Amino acid sequence: MVGGNAALDFVNTVSDWSGEPVDRLGDAAGFGAWAGVAGLLYGDDLKSLRAELADDENAAKFFEDAVAMRAAMRRIFEAAAKGEAARDDDLDIFNSWKVRAARHCEIRQDKDGFRRRCADEAPALERAMRLIFEAGEELLLNERHDRLRICGGDDCEWMFLDQSKNGKRRWCSMATCGNEHKVKAFRKRKKSAA
Ligand SMILES: [Zn+2]
């Protein structure tokens, strides 16, 4: 998880978007496992998840929708990172999850005021997507998207929020893509020196 935001981490479950995309999820079970690792689902969610995944048809439909959302978010974030306009049809897909996310939530009032309360019995898969949608919404609304970056590593293209002081972070992670770049640059220098 290098994105610094659940929506970016979700988008980053695909590498090499503009080349030969590699999907690390594969199906709804893969999504569920990833959501567990990402901290979006835990405890009783995982019990509910098992039951949801046992319903093949429902799980397949969910994954199809989630994948469409992932691609739409990627295009929206990429446009934002480049200072370009997002496509309306992508924003439509994004917004369809707002409706979906709201389905299990309601506004209630207690002694501290109004609160949004989201039902615990909402399906785990839907709940994980709600958190992803909310993270995406937060990202677009709070205008940190001028700090959105796309990793320059070979076959990577992961997106992340650059929180460095100078705003010049180039790699999703120094341990992977940054290091690979250093090794390549070193080899190139050695070759030209030989
Ligand atoms: Zn990278």
143-154 tens-digit pLDDT: 677 889 999 998
Q: Say how far apart CA 34 and CA 23 lie, in whole Å.
A: 12
The mean pLDDT of 10-21, rounded to a whole number, is 95
Q: Binning pLDDT at 50, 70 and 90, where does residue 142 land?
A: confident
Separation of CA 151 and ligand 1 centre (Å): 5
Separation of CA 12 and ligand 1 centre (Å): 10
Separation of CA 52 and ligand 1 centre (Å): 33
Q: Which of 32-36, 102-106, 139-143, 146-150 has the highest mean pLDDT?
A: 32-36
pTM for the whole thing?
A: 0.86
Q: What is the pLDDT of residues 47-84, one digit of tens each?
A: 889 999 999 999 999 999 999 999 999 999 999 999 99
Separation of CA 153 and ligand 1 centre (Å): 5
Please say whether the beta carbons of 70 and 13 come within 8 A: yes
Separation of CA 15 and ligand 1 centre (Å): 9
Closest listed residue to residue 137, CA positions, set 107, 102, 173: 102
When the pLDDT of each residue in the chain is averaged and rounded to a whole number, the result is: 90
Query: In the chain, what percentage of residues exceed pLDDT 70?
Result: 97
Beta bridge partners of 114: 109
Beta bridge partners of 106: 117
Report pLDDT for 20: 93
Separation of CA 24 and ligand 1 centre (Å): 15
Q: Which two tokens stand for residue 91?
A: 């924003």
